[in-house]
Structure 1
Amino acid sequence: MTEPKAKKEPKQEKATESYDYDTIIIGTGPGGEGAAMNLAKQDKKVAIIERHSSVGGGCTHWGTIPSKALRYSVLRFIEFKNTPLFSQAAQTLQPTFPDILKHASGVIRKQINLRTTFYNRNNVTLIHGEGSFIDQHTVAIAGEDGAVETITAQTIVIATGSRPYHPPEVDFSHPRVYDSDKILSLNHSPRSIIIYGAGVIGCEYASIFKGLGVKVDLINTRGRLLEFLDNEFSDALSYHLNSGKTTIRHGEEFKSVEAQDDCVILHTQSGKKIKADCILWANGRTGNTDKLNLESIGLKADRRGQVSVNSNYQTKIENVYAVGDVIGYPSLASAAFDQGRITANAILNGDADSALIEDIPTGIYTIPEISSVGKTEEQLTAAKVPYEVGKAQFKHLARAQIAQSEVGGLKLLFHTETKEILGIHCFGQNASEIVHIGQAIMQQKNGGNNIEYFVNTTFNYPTMAEAYRVAALNGLNRLI
């Protein structure tokens, strides 16, 4: 959420020396870490507050890291089963959800240790407790033992992240009702699961449970999966998810959730009753601002717990900044880290000397994986931009054949006259890695962004990167 830059009015402030710190950061997720590291490396005295017992925020503990680690384990199992050399041995194996959680837990521990060393090495003071404002320069920190300490700083950064949205009609205290945080406490493999919400989180968990052989009902409140994607790849994801024991139900809204001792029944507005062992609620998130006492400094969050900022990530309170999920779009861990670094520059220099790139890549860790950057065909058509399409199918690449990962492909969208790359869309194994090759070319200036680069360069063979050469030739051959 953005608003015009706040007009800086001259004011009398306490001298910097009278504060305990130059900057206090509330939250140790990617946004908080990015701000803390940049400020600390400029010799600023920084304190960072974390309400949990270890650093990393929701990204490390409940979101990005654990879900991707779970997905990786399931993907390796699927590959093992589908490899002819091992397929017979794989028939006797059936990992459970607790089994794959062990791998995720190990990754989380490594991430916590790594990120803790960042703060120690850079002399950032790490304080554990619940932070809240007393005034625009003072933060109270309530510890687990009930003790409260207060610290002051010239500037304060809110980087408290978000949590799953809980509609009041749903009883999340019931042992069969989960959200995307609580699902990591699931201590068995259910036979069936309802996933309500088919956004990125819902689709990723649908892939995970589908890979474990669980019967999945994926409830999509919209007309198609992930409508922000290129339609071709949205349809491809639907095709691969909506098979076997998985059913996608589009355009459905919940009426009530009936949680019983032995099952959960979802009642929809259309009159359907869907029964499963448990339900995962993955429909919306809320910014973690409700315990910050924002009223004490004259700030107010919207109904989604988010606050407004300008291009410097500055709230309407001049010395208070906010980054990450608490400001809304794009709500990505990668973007939050960059927002934190940009905010630090704004604090140091009075104005940020950079901004997020216009085309932020999207990585969706379903099975198969999806990634994109730039415009979709639908957007270009609506804007009346003359473009052409170049495609490469992975099944034609030697590397994909060797790796038994022939599903999917690469699509390049480019301007028919300038040959400038306008969009890159990738579906299949390692899509989120492959997309960055094209992204690097898209960022080139002075004519460097040109699809002919992929024809004129030499790629290692065999590689998945060859898809760019194949797609570029395919597209250029379409030009009249």
Structure 2
Amino acid sequence: MANFDAIVIGAGQAGPSLAFRLAATGRRVALAERSAVGGTCVNTGCTPTKTLVASARLAQLARRAAEYGIELPGPVGIDWPRVKARMDAVVARSRDGLTRALEEAENITFLRGHARFTGPHAMEVNGQPLRAPWIFLDVGGRAAAPPIPGLETVPWLTNTTLLQLETMPRHLAILGGSYIGLEFAQVFRRLGAEVTVLEVAPRLIPREDEEVSATIRDMLEAEGIAFHLGAKGLSVAPAPEGVALRLEGAPKIHASHLLLATGRRPNTDSLGLEAAGIARDARGFITVDDELQTSVPGIWALGECNGRGAFTHTAYNDYEIVAANLLDGEARRVTDRLPCYALFTDPPLGRVGMTEREAREAGHEVLVGTRPMTRVSRAVEKGETTGFMKVMVDAESKRILGAAILGTDGDEAVHALLDVMQAKLPYTALQRTVHIHPTVSELIPTLLGELKPARP
């Protein structure tokens, strides 16, 4: 039995940072990873997909070159092997650098292999028994496959296997009209594939405000992406060209490739949690308290596997919360952070806090400010006027409840609102701030000066 001060399972966004922090205090740390260092973000999520988004955006801008007075010698060509090689190189740089850091770190024993609990504070990795008073789980999640008739008879892709394709799909059918599905839809359409998106809900990304869903649909349809919303009775079958998809009340769809983007499930089913007495919820997420401790004292769950956030930034914040509470004597809580995220279509959506519907349902008297990107100078100058800005404020407290910026640089500009919300300041503090012209952010104070009661 190898004894450590701490065991970290998983080298995603939270695990390595925590291991380095613990090791810096002189504690002996074992970190185990069964797959690629860096987790979903580095290997199959943020890093590769945003690299593809950049290539796809450049291709689209090249197609629009004449609008800016730029002449190109001919039509835009796509070299998928080179696009993929660039993506793979960016991923490798990040993954390999983190791997070397873990292998060379003082006080960290880096183990390659699958970890399982054998008791409340005992584990084994590749048959090697380990024990520690502190154990931290950062095991992430994976794509989920819905029960679709015929799915077992056809090849299908996930966000992971799609990135491994050596050739560009001729026609990519995507099941799921939410964040992952829409990002891939736009990327592969811009890189030359025919794309069809199927969504069982009556609109795209149904958790967003209706005007967000409608605007994103319009902008993607304008690029040639086909949508089937409210899709019912889906079944799939093999076809000579790839996959045949059947829907109630719609012609058969023939696609070369099928991507499943219908949600994710946590990697908690092979950890032996029962041997440690660690509780999970009905969906398999590890149950944690407000300080991210599991049902067993001395064991914490961080990142996607705890069901408290499915983003890189929430996983890293999980690390910050646990490290501050254990090592700095603080009392930080996961419920103190604001929900925030981005949809990295082009243009992107930056979102923080509540939607208008959520604010109403919570009982707030809501003031709303909106401004189309056609009235934002920077967007007009860039020739990128799709989208709008929207902010919700509580009329009584004057606190910002939520905001959405769908438009050029919206994923960056939204942070001005996020910071004021986190500081618990009234919206007037931001309204009276002078921002730099010409930027997208400069219109936020103007937006806050145009608040009106929400329409019933």
Does TM, scored on the shorter chain, surpass 0.5?
yes
CA shift at 1:33, angstroms? 2.7
- The one-letter code matched in structure 1 to 2:179 is V
Indicate yes or no: 2:112 matched with 1:128: yes
Q: 1:27 aligns with which of 10, 20, 31?
A: 10
Instruction: Decide which of 40, 44, 55 is 1:62's aligned counterpart.
Output: 44
**2 CA distance for matches of 1:391 and 1:403?**
20
Match of 1:83 in 2: 65
Comparing 187-196 and 464-473, the one that deviates more: 464-473
Contact 2:377 2:439 in 1 (8 A): yes
| Residue pair 1:363, 1:370 contacting (<8 A) in 2 also | yes
Deviation (angstroms), 1:393: 2.9
Give the distance between the partners of 1:321 and 1:359, measured in 2 at CA. Answer: 21
For residues 173 and 126 of structure 1, the distance between their equivalents in structure 2, rounded to whole angstroms, comes to 38
Name the structure 1 match of 2:434.
Answer: 458
Q: What is the aligned length?
A: 452
Change (3 A) 1:316 1:234: same
How has the CA–CA distance of structure 1 residues 197 and 89 changed in structure 2, closer, same or farther, with 3 Å as cutoff?
Answer: same
SS in 1 for 2:26: coil
Alignment of 1:335-350 (within 5 A): 335-348=314-327
Following TM superposition, by how much is the alpha carbon of 1:66 offset from its aligned partner in structure 2, in angstroms?
Answer: 1.1
2:157 match: secondary structure:
strand
Choose 350-359 or 323-332, whichever is displaced more: 350-359
Shift of 1:194: 0.6
**Aligned partners of 2:329, 2:44: CA distance in 1, in Å?**
35
Aligned with 2:22: secondary structure?
helix
What's 1:36 paired with? 19
Counterparts in 2 of 1:377-456, with a 5 A limit?
377-445=356-424, 449-456=425-432
CA contact (8 A) 1:392 1:474 kept: no
CA displacement 1:320-359 (0-9 Å, x = unmatched)? 2212121224211110111123233444479843435342
AA partner of residue 300 (structure 2): Y
Deviation at 1:64, TM superposition (A): 1.9
Match of 2:185 in 1: 206
Q: Which runs of 5+ in 2 are unaligned?
A: none
Q: Distance in 2 between matches of 1:185 and 1:232?
A: 35
Is residue 140 from structure 1 mapped to residue 124 from structure 2 by the alignment?
yes
Question: Is contact 2:8–2:135 with CA below 8 Å preserved after alignment?
Answer: yes
Alpha-carbon separation, structure 2, partners of 1:426 and 1:37 = 36
Cα deviation digits, residues 80-110 of structure 1 (max 9, x gap): 3223346541752222443322222122122
**Post-superposition CA distance 1:360-413 (Å, at most 9, x none):** 212111222111111221122233422222223333333223322222232122
Instruction: Provide the aligned C-alpha RMSD in A.
Output: 2.7
Cα contact 1:132–1:140 (8 A) shared by 2: yes
Alpha carbons 1:50, 1:128 under 8 Å: kept: yes
Is contact 1:73–1:103 with CA below 8 Å preserved after alignment?
no
Where does residue 159 of structure 1 map in the other structure? 138
CA contact (8 A) 2:241 2:254 kept: no
Distance in 1, matches of 2:349 and 2:410, equals: 6
In structure 1, what is the Cα distance between the partners aligned to 2:251 and 2:329?
56
Structure 2 partner of 1:474: 450
Equivalent residue runs for 1:85-104 within 5 Å: 85=68, 88-89=71-72, 91-104=74-87
C-alpha distance in structure 2 between counterparts of 1:349 and 1:414, whole Å: 35
Distance 1:66 1:139, change over 3 A: same
User: Residue 72 of structure 1 corresponds to which residue in structure 2?
Assistant: 54
Give the match's secondary structure for 1:178: coil
Pair 322,255 (structure 1): closer, same or farther in 2 beyond 3 Å: same
Could you tell which deviates more after superposition, 432-441 or 26-35? 26-35
**Aligned twin of 1:197:** 176
Deviation for aligned residue 1:183: 0.2
Distance 1:470 1:96, change over 3 A: farther
Alpha-carbon offset, residue 115 of structure 1: 2.5
| SS at structure 1 position matched to 2:5 | strand
CA distance in 2 between counterparts of 1:372 and 1:202 reads 18
Instruction: Report the Cα offset of residue 36 of structure 1.
Output: 2.1
Unaligned ranges ≥5, structure 1: 1-17, 143-147
Residue 3 of structure 1 corresponds to which residue in structure 2?
none
User: How much has 1:421 moved relative to structure 2?
Assistant: 1.7
Secondary structure of residue in 1 paired with 2:402: strand
Find the counterpart in structure 2 of residue 221 from structure 1: 200
2: distance between equivalents of 1:338 and 1:172? Answer: 37
Local SS of the residue matching 1:89: coil
- Structure-2 change in CA distance of 1:355 and 1:41 (3 Å): farther
Tell me, in whole angstroms, the C-alpha distance in 2 between the residues paired with 1:428 and 1:188: 31
